[in-house]
């Protein structure tokens, strides 16, 4: 891990410092159609004058080989070399695909991530994962490549609709639960009526990203301990896939919020996670995220999806469990009966 992370709302100065310290022959900025319009003009970085802007279409469905190939073509046609610098300005789609394009062009150009969504700031833009969706599967192809630098700011969060803030906040909740009780309960006191583009919230984001980076540092290639970051995600991925099958896709962040409720019940049931904290979580999620509706008729499909999750090794259901906030146990095999019980309790807690 050679990456550096800076938390600042003085983004242009941070970029200028990095560029001044380097010896780059040219700068490329990768943005999507939204951030090219709303964020890039606000950057005001003097070092980026004359940078070449590569704009990709916004949206998860464009995190594709086709888009990647178009970025490579623009690099190639411009004669980009490993002495150039790439700056990714956007949410997780931009940092994932822009990171992969940079990591693989001429076997690796240096790149900076400037995440503009909360989800990217606390998750996607950190930890060195790059990638695209392929063959209908998320992040099927990619690399582990550290950005030269990640600049995290809350300055651009005001450009986001409220549900995007909530989506990122679900990953912050997860990080808090992996960290300690105090952080977890502090986050539960939020009512989403505050402003988010503040220095105060930047501090909360800093805490959250530091938690993620602790796991990344001890296990950069995701061989074991880093799996803890998958807390809530076995159920979340199954919910997302079921929603896709219903042709009503749900946001990943919302799915994580609901997945946390189900897996925190499992943590309670199997490892004695305190019931009072489970209820506090469920109350917060229901109040702010509503519920993802499922019936008994969906159980079989959901169980099937969980046994085919990427993290599952031999067709078993694999979860992270917590004995309490801050004490994760990763790679736990869950029986189908337990998973069914978790779906039952999820419905109870979500008033379904």
Residues that bind a copy of itself (CB under 8 A): 25, 65, 69, 72-73, 76-77, 81, 83, 103-108, 129-131, 134-135, 137, 139-144, 221-222, 310, 313-314
Vertex 158: Cα angle to 117 and 232 (nearest 5): 35
Token look-up 């009526």 returns: 193
Is the separation of the CB atoms in 125 and 208 below 8 Å? no
Q: How far is the C-alpha of 341 from the C-alpha of 350, rounded, in Å?
A: 14
Query: Tokens standing for 172?
Result: 């912050």
Least distance (Å) between residue 65 CB and a copy of itself: 6
Cβ atoms within 10 A of the Cβ of 123, count?
A: 28
3-state secondary structure of 189: coil
Least distance (Å) between residue 129 CB and a copy of itself: 7
Is the separation of the CB atoms in 68 and 141 below 8 Å? no
Q: How far is the C-alpha of 149 from the C-alpha of 66, rounded, in Å?
A: 26
Token look-up 């749900």 returns: 250
Least distance (Å) between residue 329 CB and a copy of itself: 21
Least distance (Å) between residue 149 CB and a copy of itself: 18
Q: How far is the C-alpha of 113 from the C-alpha of 97, rounded, in Å?
A: 11
Beta carbon nearer to a copy of itself, 107 or 248: 107
Is the separation of the CB atoms in 343 and 304 below 8 Å? no
Beta carbon nearer to a copy of itself, 59 or 108: 108
Least distance (Å) between residue 106 CB and a copy of itself: 7
Our measurement of the distance from residue 60's CA atom to the centroid of its chain's CA atoms, rounded to an integer in Å, reads 13
Least distance (Å) between residue 79 CB and a copy of itself: 8
Least distance (Å) between residue 196 CB and a copy of itself: 31
Beta carbon nearer to a copy of itself, 75 or 231: 75
Q: How far is the C-alpha of 326 from the C-alpha of 182, rounded, in Å?
A: 10
Beta carbon nearer to a copy of itself, 108 or 162: 108
Is the separation of the CB atoms in 246 and 309 below 8 Å? no
Beta carbon nearer to a copy of itself, 30 or 177: 30
Beta carbon nearer to a copy of itself, 143 or 323: 143
CA atoms within 13 A on the CB side of 113: 36
Q: Which residue from 219, 215, 251, 256 is spatially nearest to 234, judged by alpha carbons?
A: 256
Beta carbon nearer to a copy of itself, 36 or 101: 101
Is the separation of the CB atoms in 112 and 150 below 8 Å? yes
Least distance (Å) between residue 123 CB and a copy of itself: 16
Beta carbon nearer to a copy of itself, 25 or 195: 25
Query: Tokens standing for 18?
Result: 């990095």
């Amino acid at each position: 891990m050679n990456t550096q992370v800076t938390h600042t709302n003085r983004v242009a100065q941070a970029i200028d410092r990095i560029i001044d310290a380097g010896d780059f022959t040219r700068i490329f900025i990768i943005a999507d159609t939204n951030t090219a319009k709303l964020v890039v003009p606000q950057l005001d970085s003097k070092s980026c004058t004359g940078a070449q802007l590569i704009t990709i279409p916004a949206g998860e469905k464009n995190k594709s080989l086709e888009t990647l190939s178009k970025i490579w073509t623009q690099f190639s046609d411009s004669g980009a070399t490993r002495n150039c610098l790439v700056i990714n300005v956007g949410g997780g789609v931009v940092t994932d695909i822009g990171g992969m394009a940079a990591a693989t062009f001429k076997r690796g150009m240096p790149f900076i991530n400037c995440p503009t969504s909360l989800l990217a700031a606390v998750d996607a833009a950190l930890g060195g994962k790059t990638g695209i969706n392929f063959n209908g599967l998320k992040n099927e192809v990619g690399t582990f490549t550290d950005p030269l630098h990640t600049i995290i700011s809350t300055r651009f969060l005001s450009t986001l609709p409220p549900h995007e803030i909530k989506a990122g906040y679900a990953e912050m909740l997860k990080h808090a639960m992996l960290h300690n009780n105090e952080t977890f309960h502090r986050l539960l006191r939020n009512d989403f009526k505050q402003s988010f583009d503040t220095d105060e919230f930047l501090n909360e984001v800093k805490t959250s990203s530091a938690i993620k980076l602790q796991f990344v540092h001890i296990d950069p290639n995701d061989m074991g301990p880093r799996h803890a970051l998958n807390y809530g995600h076995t159920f979340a991925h199954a919910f997302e896939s079921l929603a896709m099958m219903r042709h009503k896709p749900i946001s990943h962040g919302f799915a994580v919020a609901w997945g946390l409720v189900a897996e925190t019940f499992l943590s309670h049931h199997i490892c004695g996670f305190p019931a009072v904290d489970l209820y506090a979580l469920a109350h917060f999620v229901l109040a702010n995220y509503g519920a993802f509706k499922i019936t008994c008729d969906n159980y079989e499909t959901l169980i099937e999806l969980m046994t085919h999750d990427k993290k599952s090794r031999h067709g078993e259901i694999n979860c992270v469990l917590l004995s309490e906030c801050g004490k994760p146990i990763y790679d736990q095999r869950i029986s189908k009966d337990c998973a069914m019980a978790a779906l039952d309790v999820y419905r109870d807690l979500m008033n379904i």
